[in-house]
Structure 1
Amino acid sequence: MPKVLVSDKLSETAVQIFRDNGIEVDFEPALGKDKDALLAKIGEYDGLAIRSATKVTDKLLAAATNLKVIGRAGIGVDNVDLKAASQKGVIVMNTPFGNMITTAEHAIAMMFAVARQIPEASASTHAGKWEKSKFMGVELTNKTLGLVGAGNIGSIVASRALGLKMKVLAYDPFLSEDRAKEMGVTKVELDELLGKADFITLHVPKTEQTANMITAEAIAKMKPGVRIINCARGGLVDEDALAEALKSGHVAGAAFDVFAVEPATESPLFNLPNVVVTPHLGAATTEAQENVALQVAEQISDYLNNGAVTNAINMPSITAEEAPILGPFVKLASHLGAFVGQMTTDPIESINITYDGKVAEMNTKALGSAAIAGVMSAQNPDVNMVSAPVIAADRGIQVSSTTQEKSGVFDSYIKLTVKTADRERSIAGTVFSDGKPRFIQIKGINIDAEVGSHMLYTTNKDVPGIIGTLGQTMGENGVNIANFTLGRSNVGEDAIALLYLDEAPNETALAKLKATGLFQSISPLKFDI
């Protein structure tokens, strides 16, 4: 009988789900906070159900000799060492859709609170004052809401705002015009949104692209009297710059549920007038907590009893029989998607995946999910191979696939084509006999490139000096080249280079390459190997 440990607070109903599915369960909700006690016990269990208190470190995983699956009741898995779990072969699941409505509703509640200064007015009245004239608010009706991020939660916020008769502007690199029309919002660039919005609400993950995206310069572009709401992730807004803008009056109010450092015991935003703050309550409703608890219990049970994988962060939905053959092609599909995703900043309109040869007879649904997740992971690191197709559909991205009999020199290959309004990108790859994925074609140009953690992709005209320039520049800046692949369409025409590097190229090296004028584009890339 499989055995599961619940080391954080889950409902009794969720615990009963394990029992009803024939799984032995130990419910010890305080254990997650005692890392030594947890370390001593973890070796007994096949499954671990957690919230945010339990920290799943590489040390804990090393002691988890029987552990097969970790289930997180909620979306965030910052408390799990994903790399260590993957290396140990432990599946990590989350419940990405259980708290969307709750988080969206909290953003709307925070918008009301800051618009009408409700917390301050409540505190004043509790103190026995009657300061009716002091708390002059603003209506939401006919105001313009700037929505930064139009994914699952953002789209719910938009629908609620439209119901309040607000005008909604949306900025999202993945938002298509058709999806924007379906949502009833106007798609704009970020600068236009900043300049026109009366309220700005953030609904994006924290990535290299979004970290501190609301800087002092961005705030300066906002209209006077703007109000800013962040119930997404801490670190999206420069809190010091926002505090200064609040003090000057340029920003009329702010409502924050998340902070750059949590637990937030201090912040530049604390104790400022018309700033509403809550302790990361976005998912803190009875309904949401119950939903994610029930979901994670069902998912862990289904995996331990039937081998079914649902909402996995570190692997697609694959049966035990398929895994040995399909695994390398899943990695290939993910790499192909990650390549295109890192190269594409415009909204994606469509994704087509071609399966040629023997791979066309495999589980193409899992392969497609891996490819889509790879594309979207550049902008949304929370995406997984199960949620990716849902998110793509929500954003109006048309996904299609084609299967065909062997048509070239390879027994199997996968080709990924992504279209935006202005251009089309394509890349193809295969798996060699050593089980390692290879890129075999980019932009219609044939190559043979092994995939590495750090790579550099360049495009240029086929002229002398490219190899020397790349090699010399990398060498002068301490970047070692593990492998070097070139390709061209015809003599003197379009050419590409793909370098497999031992470390990420530094900014100095990239700047020197750009200064040569030899390259049309220079793109550093990262892959999860």
Structure 2
Amino acid sequence: MSKPKVLISDALSPAAVQIFRDRGVEVDFQPNLGKDKDKLADIIGDYDGLAIRSATKATAKIIERAKRLKVIGRAGIGVDNVEIPAATAKGIIVMNTPFGNSITTAEHAITLMLALAREIPQADASTQAGKWEKNRFMGVEITGKTLGVVGCGNIGSIVCDRAQGLRMKVIGFDPFLTEERARDLGVEKVELDELLKRADFITLHTPLTDKTRNIIDAAAIAKTKKGVRIINCARGGLVDEQALLEALNSKHVAGAALDVFAEEPATSNALFGHPGVICTPHLGASTTEAQENVALQIAEQMSDYLLTGAISNAINFPSITAEEAPKLKPFIALAEKLGSFAGQLTESSIAKIQITYEGHVAEMKTKALTSAVLAGLLRPMLGEVNVVSAPVIAKERGMIVDEVLRAGESDYESLITVAVTTEHQERAVSGTVYADGKPRLVDIKGIRVDAEFGKSMIYVTNEDKPGFIGKFASLLGDAKINIATFHLGRVAAGGDAIALVEIDGAVPADLVAKIQALPQVKQAKALAF
């Protein structure tokens, strides 16, 4: 049997190259090839694995030419440079190293905070220019100040720990942070508005999603105390840069330190040159140790997969064996969609998730299915979550995850039920896979339904009273929305009811508000699968 062959098209450390060779993998090390996409496309067909950093763009065109490729390994967390749907369609595993950069990024945030407090870059430039402006650079102490941490996941929790070592008071906002986990971190859990009001320094450690885009905008800045300092080492787009500039000019914000920008590479930016701003070129993960760690980690993971079939830290597939895959695949799709359904309806802190497997599915590898549920559940809020990282993220946030296995007690050959407990309520949703292999919703909050997961759906809970369906359908008609499927269910006549409607095209935001305003409606949500 011939050795698997890996192409390394970006700069990986010699030690990582050696790991491949020591494990029995043939390596073609061309660290500058990633910049030449045409040449990469010409030769990619000869390789079983592709190891990259950020310079190589694994586009659909490249992937289409990759006839033998089984795995793409990204040394680092971000996989924006890989077209994952194209890779998935070809059965190519996409791996990353989600936790190798955490300490380095957290340290960069702390470093920027200290530099901001004492105006270090500005003082350095002035002193080296021979000015000796000792009275100009009047900084502030860190000790005793309140640090507001937005996002208390892997990196955010390290920042919390380091800040407490600096004798700061740490408050944290994270919808998925439980009170118990907050106590473990020594952090006071608060809502975003309270964090904005109380913090002397605000540091961002959250992914960029629709919910977090411009989380620090003009309205948020207006709620902060005068003299606040803002640090962003997470993602460009979390801060409205124009609003920040105006707040700096008005002196409401005393300073800002940014490692990430809405557009990168940021060769020009409205904030550049402002005396209250410190900028670095996305250095969060740039230390010798972090670069070495992720390179060694991706070499080990790719070698494991190519030589033994073991999968770890995969973006587009759970950790399962080749024998288990065919049986599990439709149930993984069901599990992720059930999680996504619950996640899109959940807006408060999750305390507990109970996943019940009944019938044949209870005999399968439920760990992979639970990972899929959690990935679907967490992704609407956290963005970059995959079936491997989801259990770790849930554990970091102190969520209790229970699996219950039962012999066939339901009307279905296999049934998965996902029950989510938040601070305010419990919500359960059940689904199965029919003989056609398609996932189906069969129960929502105790109300029987029978619905496929549509790409774009509207979910409504309402009182079962005459007139609702007519008014609801009229709103859709007025908005020129075409209905694909329409499912109704109720507990009892006149009681709670639900409507689940699949539509063609996206759901306009103003339509949801109009549906919510109907007299009988308790909740209206747009869902996407």
Q: TM-score, normalised by structure 1?
A: 0.98
2: CA distance between counterparts of 1:478 and 1:308?
Answer: 49
Structure 1, 78-87 or 189-198: larger mean CA deviation: 78-87
2: CA distance between counterparts of 1:255 and 1:511?
Answer: 37
**Structure 1 residue aligned with 2:437:** 435
Q: CA deviation at 1:457?
A: 0.6
Residue identity opposite 1:167 in structure 2: K
Residue identity opposite 1:492 in structure 2: G
Structure 2 residue 140 is the aligned partner of structure 1 residue 141: no
**Structure 2 residue aligned with 1:516:** 518
Q: Would the aligned equivalents of 1:225 and 1:251 in 2 still touch at CA under 8 Å?
A: yes
Number of aligned residue pairs: give it. 527
2: CA distance between counterparts of 1:174 and 1:514?
Answer: 26
2: CA distance between counterparts of 1:454 and 1:251?
Answer: 41
**Structure 1 residue aligned with 2:306:** 304
Structure 2 residue 439 is the aligned partner of structure 1 residue 402: no
1: CA distance between counterparts of 2:481 and 2:79?
Answer: 32
1: CA distance between counterparts of 2:410 and 2:510?
Answer: 41
2: CA distance between counterparts of 1:171 and 1:79?
Answer: 30
**Structure 1 residue aligned with 2:503:** 501
Aligned mate of 1:248, from 250, 253, 258: 250
What's the secondary structure of 2:72's corresponding residue? strand
**Structure 2 residue aligned with 1:475:** 477
**Structure 2 residue aligned with 1:492:** 494
Structure 2 residue 155 is the aligned partner of structure 1 residue 153: yes
Distance 1:299 1:198, change over 3 A: same
Q: CA deviation at 1:344?
A: 0.6
What's the secondary structure of 2:382's corresponding residue? coil
1: CA distance between counterparts of 2:50 and 2:286?
Answer: 22
What's the secondary structure of 1:295's corresponding residue? helix
**Structure 2 residue aligned with 1:15:** 17
The Cα RMSD (Å) is 1.0
What's the secondary structure of 1:487's corresponding residue? strand
Residue identity opposite 1:438 in structure 2: R
Q: Would the aligned equivalents of 1:479 and 1:504 in 2 still touch at CA under 8 Å?
A: no
What's the secondary structure of 2:290's corresponding residue? helix
Residue identity opposite 1:280 in structure 2: H
**Structure 1 residue aligned with 2:184:** 182
Q: CA deviation at 1:517?
A: 2.1
Deviations 1:331-379 (A, max 9, x none): 1110011011111111100111000000000000000111011111111
Aligned mate of 2:124, from 99, 119, 122: 122
Aligned mate of 1:169, from 168, 171, 174: 171
Q: Would the aligned equivalents of 1:308 and 1:319 in 2 still touch at CA under 8 Å?
A: yes
Distance 1:508 1:166, change over 3 A: closer
Residue identity opposite 1:40 in structure 2: D
Q: CA deviation at 1:48?
A: 0.7
2: CA distance between counterparts of 1:88 and 1:494?
Answer: 45
Structure 1, 433-442 or 510-519: larger mean CA deviation: 510-519
What's the secondary structure of 1:349's corresponding residue? strand
Structure 1, 364-373 or 60-69: larger mean CA deviation: 60-69
Q: CA deviation at 1:449?
A: 0.6
2: CA distance between counterparts of 1:347 and 1:197?
Answer: 21
What's the secondary structure of 1:208's corresponding residue? coil
Identity rate of aligned residues, in percent?
A: 62
**Structure 2 residue aligned with 1:380:** 382
Residue identity opposite 2:298 in structure 1: V
Q: CA deviation at 1:83?
A: 1.5
Structure 1, 459-468 or 224-233: larger mean CA deviation: 459-468
2: CA distance between counterparts of 1:90 and 1:478?
Answer: 40
**Structure 2 residue aligned with 1:350:** 352
Deviations 1:389-445 (A, max 9, x none): 111111110111100000011011100011012210100000000000001100011
2: CA distance between counterparts of 1:447 and 1:104?
Answer: 46
1: CA distance between counterparts of 2:141 and 2:187?
Answer: 20
What's the secondary structure of 1:449's corresponding residue? strand
2: CA distance between counterparts of 1:247 and 1:27?
Answer: 49
- Structure-to-structure mapping, 1:274-289, within 5 angstroms: 274-289=276-291
- Structure-to-structure mapping, 1:311-350, within 5 angstroms: 311-350=313-352
Deviations 1:216-264 (A, max 9, x none): 1111111111100000000111111111111111111110000000000
2: CA distance between counterparts of 1:511 and 1:158?
Answer: 38
Q: CA deviation at 1:514?
A: 2.7
Residue identity opposite 1:51 in structure 2: R
Unaligned runs of 5+ in 2: none
Q: TM-score, normalised by structure 2?
A: 0.98
- Structure-to-structure mapping, 1:88-127, within 5 angstroms: 88-127=90-129
Unaligned runs of 5+ in 1: none
Residue identity opposite 1:76 in structure 2: G
Q: Would the aligned equivalents of 1:477 and 1:508 in 2 still touch at CA under 8 Å?
A: no
1: CA distance between counterparts of 2:135 and 2:513?
Answer: 58
Aligned mate of 1:81, from 83, 88, 96: 83
**Structure 1 residue aligned with 2:467:** 465
What's the secondary structure of 1:255's corresponding residue? strand
1: CA distance between counterparts of 2:480 and 2:25?
Answer: 54
**Structure 1 residue aligned with 2:294:** 292
2: CA distance between counterparts of 1:508 and 1:196?
Answer: 33
What's the secondary structure of 1:379's corresponding residue? helix
What's the secondary structure of 2:381's corresponding residue? coil
Q: CA deviation at 1:21?
A: 1.4
Q: Would the aligned equivalents of 1:7 and 1:48 in 2 still touch at CA under 8 Å?
A: yes
Structure 1, 115-124 or 280-289: larger mean CA deviation: 115-124
What's the secondary structure of 2:85's corresponding residue? helix
Structure 1, 255-264 or 456-465: larger mean CA deviation: 456-465
What's the secondary structure of 1:516's corresponding residue? coil
**Structure 1 residue aligned with 2:454:** 452
2: CA distance between counterparts of 1:509 and 1:278?
Answer: 42
- Structure-to-structure mapping, 1:8-87, within 5 angstroms: 8-87=10-89
Structure 1, 465-474 or 289-298: larger mean CA deviation: 465-474
What's the secondary structure of 1:366's corresponding residue? helix
**Structure 1 residue aligned with 2:220:** 218
Deviations 1:113-170 (A, max 9, x none): 0101111111111112211111111110000000101100000000000010000010
Q: CA deviation at 1:325?
A: 0.6
**Structure 2 residue aligned with 1:361:** 363
1: CA distance between counterparts of 2:319 and 2:111?
Answer: 37
1: CA distance between counterparts of 2:90 and 2:486?
Answer: 31
1: CA distance between counterparts of 2:491 and 2:109?
Answer: 51
Residue identity opposite 1:159 in structure 2: D
**Structure 2 residue aligned with 1:419:** 421
Q: Would the aligned equivalents of 1:215 and 1:237 in 2 still touch at CA under 8 Å?
A: yes
1: CA distance between counterparts of 2:332 and 2:419?
Answer: 17
